Amino acid sequence: MTDFFNGITPIKYEGLDASSDLAFRHYNPDEIVMGKRMADHLRFAVAYWHSFAWPGGDPFGGQTFERPWFGDTIDLAKLKADVAFEMFDILGAPFFCFHDADVRPEGADFAENTRNLEEIVDYFAQKMESSKTRLLWGTANLFSHRRFMSGAATNPDPEVFAWSAATVKTCMDATHKLGGENYVLWGGREGYETLLNTDLTREAEQAGAFLSMVVDYKHKIGFKGAILIEPKPQEPSKHQYDYDVATVYGFLKRFGLENEVKVNIEQGHAILAGHSFEHELALAASLGIFGSIDMNRNDYQSGWDTDQFPDNVPEMARAYYEVLKAGGFTTGGTNFDAKLRRQSLDPEDLIAAHVGAMDVCARALKAAAALLEDGALEEARKARYAGWDAPENRAMLTSDLATIEARVRSQGINPAPRSGRQERLENLWNRFV
């Protein structure tokens, strides 16, 4: 045991009367919601990078957090892992997620990076023997080091492509060894700053070839989890190639990978792309590529990716409504890709942030489930399209313009506009959240 969390004991569900802020008021893991344990619906994951590797810097100032494990040695990386697994236990977190660079010290070359990663993966494996926490997903950090400044797979320099491919292989091996349920690719530098120095055609071909190799390697090693792309429209690149769900789907179709790769949708990224989170979720489900979510918000005023813990229950209920409608998570889950504010220095802040986030997710899930079980919203939606159930109307979808014109004339079709009833549906929604 380390002494970092000052003897904070495991967080329990105490209901609405709980007196401490280190207790769950809504998240009751064993409570059954729509026939399934709440914990199995939500599948919470702690993000290793923000909680344990982020120093608290912003564009105007550096580190604010003092953590005894900060530094680039294997021993400190193991101390970090000790504290991380203690936090997973305190929270009862079913999952965690990591990038290679969060967990291992940076080596002088590729071989040293790989050795460091393997040593930490073995250490994780040992810790997981006595922990209930599993790996939701692993990923490679192909964006922080200066070698990636012009991209990873889409870099003009083939040596960076090679380094990136080799690194992803080691990270897929690590994820597979730890029983990870997914492997994520967020293309932090896969985009461009200016078209003046960028060949779009080449970069797309490189990205397609790279992803095809990832899929081939998954099958080669027998990794049963899902490969997930995480869309984001900009930041750090001015224009990111994986802009949003629709863009990613077009890319997957182009390279014949739409049945192999799904998406990890982040709330904040959806908003940056000019969408709502629920739009991105509904579209992914409709295209058959819904995988997992990163449940962290941005600040609506600042317009950049502030990665804050979620706090907006009505918005989150819309998201979980789409997740439930899509049939819930299979390999995916709810990852908190969220960091503390840089003034939140105390170990208790780290615990309270996750407790609050888990609680608001549980509250949103319960509201969404109640609305879905009530059925009135789905009935109203169905009724709006009911005309399409008539065979003569459905037949139009495989007909032609001239035949339809003849039908309009012979039947004297003259459509009468009907209310979309938006306010009534909003009132219905608001009775549940």
* Binding positions for ligand XUL, rule: CB under 6 A: 99, 139, 184, 186, 230, 232, 266, 294, 305, 337
Is the Cβ–Cβ distance between 155 and 164 less than 8 Å? yes
How many residues belong to the site for Co ion (CB under 5 A)? 3
Does residue 294 touch Co ion according to CB under 5 A? yes
User: For Co ion, which stretch binds (CB under 5 A), given 9-17, 204-212, 266-274, 358-366?
Assistant: 266-274
Do residues 305 and 298 touch, judged by C-beta distance below 8 A?
yes
The C-alpha R_g of the chain, in whole angstroms, comes to 24
Nearer to ligand XUL, 297 or 366 (CB): 297
Nearer to ligand XUL, 333 or 369 (CB): 333
Torsion angle of alpha carbons 253, 256, 258, 263, nearest 10°?
Answer: -80
266 binds Co ion (CB under 5 A): yes
Contact region for Co ion (CB under 5 A) — 53-61, 82-90, 136-144, 330-338?
330-338
CA nearest neighbour of 99 among 146, 63, 136: 136
Candidate list 203, 278, 315, 337; residue touching Co ion; CB under 5 A: 337
272 binds, among ligand XUL, Co ion, none (CB under 5 to 8 A by kind): none
Nearest to 296 by CA among 324, 321, 315: 315
Pairing of the two strands 290-294 and 239-240: unpaired
Q: At what angle do helices 158-177 and 200-221 cross, to 10 degrees?
A: 30
CA distances from 120 to 100, 126, 186 (A): 10, 10, 22
| Among ligand XUL, Co ion, none, partner that 232 touches (CB below 5 to 8 angstroms by kind) | ligand XUL
Which listed option, ligand XUL, Co ion, none, makes contact with residue 139 (CB within 5 to 8 Å by class)? ligand XUL
- In the bound complex, what is the minimum distance in angstroms from residue 152's beta carbon to ligand XUL? 11
Q: At what angle do helices 313-325 and 347-374 cross, to 10 degrees?
A: 60
190 binds Co ion (CB under 5 A): no
Does 307 contact Co ion by CB under 5 A?
no
CB nearer Co ion, residue 123 or residue 309: 309
Nearest-approach distance from CB 364 to Co ion, in angstroms: 19
Tell me the C-alpha distance between 40 and 389, whole Å: 36
Q: 3-class SS at 181?
A: coil
CB 292 within 8 A of CB 335: yes
Give min distance, CB of 236 to ligand XUL, in A: 8
Three-class DSSP category at 329: coil
Phi-psi region of 140 (alpha: psi -120 to 50; beta: other; left: phi over 0): beta
CB of 9 to ligand XUL, least distance (A): 30
Q: Which of the listed partners (Co ion, ligand XUL, none) does 305 bind, with a CB threshold of 5 to 8 Å by partner kind?
A: ligand XUL
In angstroms, rounded to a whole number, what is the distance separating the alpha carbons of residues 215 and 159?
21
Residues contacting residue 212 through CB under 8 Å, at least 6 positions apart: 255, 257
For ligand XUL, the closer of residues 273 and 369 by Cβ is 273
What is the contact mask toward Co ion in residues 220 to 259, using x (rule: CB under 5 A)? ----------------------------------------
Cβ 141 to Co ion shortest distance, Å: 12
How near is the Cβ of 99 to Co ion at its closest, in Å? 10
Q: Please, is 230 exposed, middle or buried when counting C-beta atoms within 10 Å of its C-beta (0-12, 13-18, 19+)?
A: buried
Say if CB 78 and CB 128 are below 8 A apart.
no
Task: Rank residues 244 and 366 by Cβ distance to ligand XUL and give the closer one.
Answer: 244
Nearest approach in angstroms of CB 75 to Co ion is 29
Q: Which of 280/337 has CB closer to Co ion?
A: 337
Question: Which runs of consecutive H residues, i.e. helices, occur in 18-98?
Answer: 38-42, 48, 74-91
Cβ at position 15, least distance to ligand XUL in Å: 33
Taking CB atoms, the residue at the shortest distance from ligand XUL is 186
- Which range touches Co ion (CB under 5 A), out of 80-88, 173-181, 265-273, 343-351? 265-273
Q: Which helix (H) or strand (E) holds 239?
A: strand 239-240
Q: Is 280 in the site for Co ion (CB under 5 A)?
A: no
Dist CA 255 CA 35 (whole Å): 39
Least gap, CB of 211 to Co ion (angstroms): 18
- Cβ at position 86, least distance to ligand XUL in Å: 23
Contact partner at residue 100 from Co ion, ligand XUL, none, CB < 5 to 8 Å by partner kind: none
Q: Which is nearer to ligand XUL, 265 or 371 (by Cβ)? A: 265
- Residue numbers at the binding site for Co ion (CB under 5 A): 266, 294, 337
